Amino acid sequence: MSAPYYTSTGSTGTTTITAAAGPGVTHNCTSIVVSMAGPTSGQNARLDVWDGAVGTGTRIFTCFLNGPGAAGTGIGSVGSIQDIPLPKDGLGRGRLQSTPGNAMNIQVIGTGADQVSINAFITDGLP
């Protein structure tokens, strides 16, 4: 099993976490937290989770993000931290799962020049 905690930071409008593909590996993501800080944010800051490669795999989850600043306006340097609510399985647990053998990519796009970080808990085994 790989390390379950993943983190990525960026300041160019995009940042990505990749849990690598492997034979027979099924990635289970049970937690995603996104934080942003900076003077402006993109109008359409978004989080996407991909089963496989970004852009060519299957997008299995997407949500728009609240920008930093006063009341999420994106104006001002006040930061924001967002705990992303994941879809629930049959037992009521929030989680996303990749197809066996595929990578799982978690990507934040459209944040403008803001600092952004993604923190996720991803295991490569079934619960």
The pTM of this model reads 0.87
What is the reported pLDDT for 2? 56
CATH number at residue 94: 2.60.120
Do the domain assignments include residue 105? Answer: yes
What is the reported pLDDT for 125? 67
Number of domains in the chain: 1
Do the domain assignments include residue 124? Answer: no
Do the domain assignments include residue 126? Answer: no
Measured CA to CA, the distance from residue 22 to residue 62 in angstroms comes to 24
What is the reported pLDDT for 71? 55
Do the domain assignments include residue 37? Answer: yes
Residue ranges of the chain with per-residue pLDDT less than 70:
1-3, 39-43, 67-78, 125-127
Question: Per the structure block, which two tokens stand in for 122?
Answer: 């991803």
Do the domain assignments include residue 46? Answer: yes
The domain of 49 spans: 5-118
